[in-house]
A and B are shown apart, each in its own frame.
Chain A
């Protein structure tokens, strides 16, 4: 069982999708039940992973490895190889949890073309899980690309008024990044063959040869991978697809988009960019750019959020800001920054996923997301208002809730590298409090001004059920994050040791004369890098 657990987790949703194909499409409730059963099953089959993984958390390397290299397409050296470490373990658990929640949340939201919807959603779930499990670059790329198709259809068919535009933009933008990444992968593959005379896409094997690529090639490869991942994250100037996709997507689509899809970009940075190109990421200039873009993203995303009139768009831009923290932590290149970043990715999945559900709840009742349409909602929907408050506080990083732990650890890691970087990132936390509390005030406080809102009914038990696991997770990570850090310790240390051998004794950043003064743009970053 242990040896096939990953395949079982991976293919449970796909099995559900295939089964659904044989259910007549008029039978909407049967379709809903089957989809939900498979979504719950997808979560349940992933639960045994928790004790099993916990038992071997300190062992080095990938665990639960399944399949051998080259067993899929031997003539090109691609294999069906799955395996996880602490980082992918957490992301997989997040995916199965959010997958279940979003499928459950669609029960009443999707009334048209129900069968297709659940089929595509379950296919999407398999695609995302595959990205986090693949230990073969070819397999990884297949999942990475294949997953775009169901997401494109989810946005394009069940989306809002500008769905066609948003769906195509999403597909083209993310594909643009990933095809350049494909060229990067092919180069690594070719380079591995030059050194070892073996053609393989095995990621652990490529880990051995990729760092030997000379800097003038590695920088281009890094950029190719960077484009692929930065678009997915999205980092600041590549974020423009995100508000469109989020606003137009159906609620469950947004939850998955924010909760899991964006994490594929940050996961890519941690899994590939760092260990493959240690010479490039430790280069002060490259690192300066990365940190600079992260900080710009944090501040910019927060400022734009402040200005939004549409709740969903506000949450979408807040994702840009929060993901800025994640990339900031990654490029701090120390254990605190990295583990904080991974934990913050989980936190963002929990709290932003919940925020999109919260917006979805109101949208389902009123079919508008304009903030100005609401006011005094706490009077008519008290349970809803309470849950919203908890999730808002979690998202803005209030101590005792999950967001605080992640952001604090990231800032701690950043502070250890440069005080200025940390100082520039901190306003993001304050701004997050500002836009979220202001939103809360406008929507929930005061008296009901709009007569249409007087008759709104509070959350149904099904809707409450959606939030329970998220709130529990938020409190758990906020109160007792130790198990999470223990799970992350081994993989994070391994990556840091690859990137900066001997850390913390040898500080690569010691050579940087002055810490960055980003001044809100990336230009001074280059100067700081260029000084030495």
Chain B
């Protein structure tokens, strides 16, 4: 390599990195400013982080307008693949992080852990997520994953004096490192098989390999696929790789649980879709049966486990695992449908739309739980939410909206995610899976109603009115508005997802051609 660097990197490359650079600068800035801030001014850290997210969002917008009608743009010598899929996820991560930040301020004050590192770690983890969503080279994806994961391990254990938080962090760290190892092992086998770490080269090489063997996968391919898929499924917390989730969710600070259950999960999904659809699509006949098993197991185990939970955070952890099961159904429809067909696009749209609406409704539900935390009440047991209606009627009604949306009752946002997924299953002929999916959705309603029953039909154990901070009001307002608005007027949001799928110019399309 010789000559000026401009030979290899154009302005477009730097533009693609703009949101990442901005977030990093703001994260470092917070660390610096935090040293100078007296305790009562710590809330400015949150403000700086919020502004950083706004700047990053403007950066994403800049990329989006620079792309124009082009569906995608490679950057950094094909290591970054900036397409509408990535842009969609960028916005999603930023929205999740912004809402998590505004609901953290008062919570951290109550926990007496109001440090600048908290916000800067959130920003760093978003940087990692962006590398996962836009990465086209498995090395970049893996680095993004680790950056996100390590930031999250620390955030889970952020309540230094709380045993539960420490325990959760350690468990998450050990299991997460273990699964990353398996994932890296799978990727190295893929590299050995195909001689490349770039998804754009891996896919045709895999097609070739499959072709040489009469479309049967040889054992090494199966091993590579299983190891990779295990790593991916661990990160989205699908059964049987889900055990870390309830513990980590329960122990983590509630605002971080909220962040993990939406942004971190969305990033894991972006990575899973990138690798399974862009890199390993030629192996779909091999991995679909595996996915069917995982999806059914996930829906079954998570829904049954959620029934008996008395801790709200654990309950919502299991519910979020169950939602992964429904989303996997969309992936199954996508991967088994004929190409190109409406079933395929509906499955794809279903997953993206699901992740979008899930971000808002789940953040909303966690926001309510976060606000239950008070000086002397941890506020995450189902008894703590009893009689919430009498203590804070608005919050109780909003929580009901979030829960019904999670259960998929129309006309609320959560319904549309399920709608597209079940439609794609019908279109691709998976009638039994569709029936199983809807029945588990009914099943899920039971434990959401348990929470609703406690809020509305039990007297409050603590009669005091619940104080709700300004940031919390903002978070609740935004999430509730979107949950209802998407439910009643979903057209724009469906179009947004259509846009990000890119329809005819889909990268998936270009791949299989």
What is the interface of chain A, defined by CB distance below 8 A to chain B? 72-76, 141-142, 145-146, 148-149, 152-153, 156-157, 163-164, 167-168, 171-172, 175-176, 179-180, 182-183, 186-187, 189-190, 193, 220
B445 at the interface (CB under 8 A from A): yes
Q: A149-B404, A182-B438 are in contact. Are A172 and B456 (CB under 8 A)?
A: no
Alpha-carbon separation in the docked complex, A163 to B449 (Å): 13
Stretch with Cβ within 8 A of A (4 or more), from B126-134, B257-265, B420-428? B420-428
Chain B residues with CB below 8 A from A182, complex form: 422, 438
Chain B residues with CB below 8 A from A75, complex form: 491, 494-495, 498
Alpha-carbon separation in the docked complex, A187 to B425 (Å): 10
Chain B residues with CB below 8 A from A149, complex form: 404, 409
Are the CB atoms of B409 and A187 closer together than 8 Å? no
Task: State the Cβ distance, A71 to closest chain B Cβ, in Å.
Answer: 10
Are the CB atoms of B457 and A157 closer together than 8 Å? yes
Q: Which 4 A-B pairs have the closest CB atoms?
A: A179-B438, A142-B410, A75-B494, A186-B426
Chain B residues with CB below 8 A from A186, complex form: 419, 422-423, 426
B95 at the interface (CB under 8 A from A): no
Alpha-carbon separation in the docked complex, A168 to B411 (Å): 20
Chain A residues with CB below 8 A from B187, complex form: none
Alpha-carbon separation in the docked complex, A167 to B490 (Å): 30
Q: A73-B494, A157-B456, A179-B438 are in contact. Are A145 and B410 (CB under 8 A)?
A: yes
Question: Closest residue of chain B to A148, judged by CB?
Answer: B409
Question: Closest residue of chain A to B440, judged by CB?
Answer: A179
Chain B residues with CB below 8 A from A152, complex form: 449
What are 20 A-B contacts defined by CB distance under 8 Å? A73-B490, A75-B495, A76-B419, A145-B410, A146-B410, A148-B409, A153-B456, A167-B449, A167-B457, A168-B449, A168-B453, A172-B449, A175-B445, A176-B439, A179-B439, A180-B438, A182-B438, A186-B422, A190-B426, A190-B427
Interface centre among A163, A172, A175, A189 (most CB of B within 10 A): A175
Question: Closest residue of chain B to A72, judged by CB?
Answer: B491
B441 at the interface (CB under 8 A from A): yes
Alpha-carbon separation in the docked complex, A176 to B439 (Å): 7
Partner of B435, one of A148, A163, A183: A183
Task: State the Cβ distance, B337 to closest chain A Cβ, in Å.
Answer: 12
Are the CB atoms of B409 and A172 closer together than 8 Å? no
Are the CB atoms of A183 and B438 closer together than 8 Å? yes
Chain A residues with CB below 8 A from B495, complex form: 75
B 411-462 contacts with A by CB, 8 A: 411, 419, 422-423, 426-427, 431, 434-435, 438-439, 441-442, 445-446, 449, 453, 456-457
Task: State the Cβ distance, B6 to closest chain A Cβ, in Å.
Answer: 43
Alpha-carbon separation in the docked complex, A326 to B126 (Å): 60
Are the CB atoms of B491 and A172 closer together than 8 Å? no
Alpha-carbon separation in the docked complex, A186 to B422 (Å): 8
Chain A residues with CB below 8 A from B434, complex form: 183
Alpha-carbon separation in the docked complex, A175 to B446 (Å): 11
Task: State the Cβ distance, B509 to closest chain A Cβ, in Å.
Answer: 19
Interface centre among A163, A172, A193 (most CB of B within 10 A): A172
Chain B residues with CB below 8 A from A183, complex form: 422, 426, 431, 434-435, 438
Alpha-carbon separation in the docked complex, A224 to B313 (Å): 35
Alpha-carbon separation in the docked complex, A149 to B409 (Å): 9
Q: A75-B491, A183-B426, A187-B426 are in contact. Are A142 and B445 (CB under 8 A)?
A: no
Q: A157-B457, A187-B426 are in contact. Are A179 and B410 (CB under 8 A)?
A: no
Chain A residues with CB below 8 A from B423, complex form: 186, 189-190
Chain B residues with CB below 8 A from A168, complex form: 446, 449, 453
Alpha-carbon separation in the docked complex, A179 to B422 (Å): 10
Task: State the Cβ distance, B181 to closest chain A Cβ, in Å.
Answer: 41
Are the CB atoms of B457 and A163 closer together than 8 Å? yes
Task: State the Cβ distance, A74 to closest chain B Cβ, in Å.
Answer: 6
Are the CB atoms of A179 and B442 closer together than 8 Å? yes
Task: State the Cβ distance, A111 to closest chain B Cβ, in Å.
Answer: 16
Are the CB atoms of A172 and B445 closer together than 8 Å? yes
Partner of A176, one of B409, B431, B442, B456: B442
Alpha-carbon separation in the docked complex, A156 to B342 (Å): 42
B 256-301 contacts with A by CB, 8 A: none
Task: State the Cβ distance, B456 to closest chain A Cβ, in Å.
Answer: 6
Task: State the Cβ distance, A444 to closest chain B Cβ, in Å.
Answer: 35
Task: State the Cβ distance, A300 to closest chain B Cβ, in Å.
Answer: 26
Are the CB atoms of A142 and B411 closer together than 8 Å? yes
Partner of A141, one of B342, B410, B457: B410
Chain B residues with CB below 8 A from A193, complex form: 342
Give 6 A-B pairs besides A149-B404, A167-B449, A183-B426 with Cβ atoms closer than 8 angstroms: A74-B491, A141-B410, A167-B457, A172-B445, A180-B438, A190-B427
Alpha-carbon separation in the docked complex, A85 to B419 (Å): 29
Alpha-carbon separation in the docked complex, A220 to B494 (Å): 30
Alpha-carbon separation in the docked complex, A73 to B416 (Å): 11
Alpha-carbon separation in the docked complex, A344 to B509 (Å): 57
Partner of B449, one of A74, A157, A171, A220: A171
Are the CB atoms of B409 and A146 closer together than 8 Å? yes
Alpha-carbon separation in the docked complex, A76 to B498 (Å): 11
Are the CB atoms of B422 and A164 closer together than 8 Å? no
Task: State the Cβ distance, A493 to closest chain B Cβ, in Å.
Answer: 34
Task: State the Cβ distance, B429 to closest chain A Cβ, in Å.
Answer: 10
Chain A residues with CB below 8 A from B410, complex form: 141-142, 145-146
Chain A residues with CB below 8 A from B457, complex form: 156-157, 163-164, 167
Question: Closest residue of chain A to B434, judged by CB?
Answer: A183
Interface centre among B404, B410, B434 (most CB of A within 10 A): B410
Alpha-carbon separation in the docked complex, A408 to B456 (Å): 46
Are the CB atoms of B445 and A171 closer together than 8 Å? yes
Question: Closest residue of chain B to A173, judged by CB?
Answer: B442
Are the CB atoms of A175 and B453 closer together than 8 Å? no
Alpha-carbon separation in the docked complex, A368 to B168 (Å): 53
B 455-484 contacts with A by CB, 8 A: 456-457
Task: State the Cβ distance, A145 to closest chain B Cβ, in Å.
Answer: 5
Chain A residues with CB below 8 A from B490, complex form: 73
Alpha-carbon separation in the docked complex, A484 to B342 (Å): 46
Task: State the Cβ distance, A180 to closest chain B Cβ, in Å.
Answer: 6
Alpha-carbon separation in the docked complex, A424 to B229 (Å): 61
Chain B residues with CB below 8 A from A153, complex form: 456
Alpha-carbon separation in the docked complex, A145 to B342 (Å): 26
Task: State the Cβ distance, A201 to closest chain B Cβ, in Å.
Answer: 11
Question: Closest residue of chain A to B408, judged by CB?
Answer: A179
Partner of B491, one of A73, A141, A167: A73
Are the CB atoms of A179 and B426 closer together than 8 Å? no
Task: State the Cβ distance, A215 to closest chain B Cβ, in Å.
Answer: 16
Chain A residues with CB below 8 A from B431, complex form: 183, 220
Chain A residues with CB below 8 A from B404, complex form: 149
Partner of A164, one of B409, B419, B453: B453
Alpha-carbon separation in the docked complex, A186 to B431 (Å): 11
B 395-413 contacts with A by CB, 8 A: 404, 409-411
Interface centre among B423, B434, B441 (most CB of A within 10 A): B423
Alpha-carbon separation in the docked complex, A186 to B342 (Å): 13
Question: Closest residue of chain B to A165, judged by CB?
Answer: B453
Chain A residues with CB below 8 A from B498, complex form: 75
Are the CB atoms of A76 and B494 closer together than 8 Å? yes
Chain B residues with CB below 8 A from A74, complex form: 491
Question: Closest residue of chain B to A76, judged by CB?
Answer: B494
Are the CB atoms of B442 and A175 closer together than 8 Å? yes
Chain B residues with CB below 8 A from A172, complex form: 442, 445-446, 449
Question: Closest residue of chain B to A188, judged by CB?
Answer: B426
Chain B residues with CB below 8 A from A141, complex form: 410
Alpha-carbon separation in the docked complex, A179 to B457 (Å): 26
Task: State the Cβ distance, A274 to closest chain B Cβ, in Å.
Answer: 23
Alpha-carbon separation in the docked complex, A220 to B432 (Å): 12
Alpha-carbon separation in the docked complex, A176 to B427 (Å): 22
Are the CB atoms of A179 and B411 closer together than 8 Å? no
Task: State the Cβ distance, B352 to closest chain A Cβ, in Å.
Answer: 14
Task: State the Cβ distance, B498 to closest chain A Cβ, in Å.
Answer: 6
Interface centre among A74, A75, A141, A163 (most CB of B within 10 A): A75
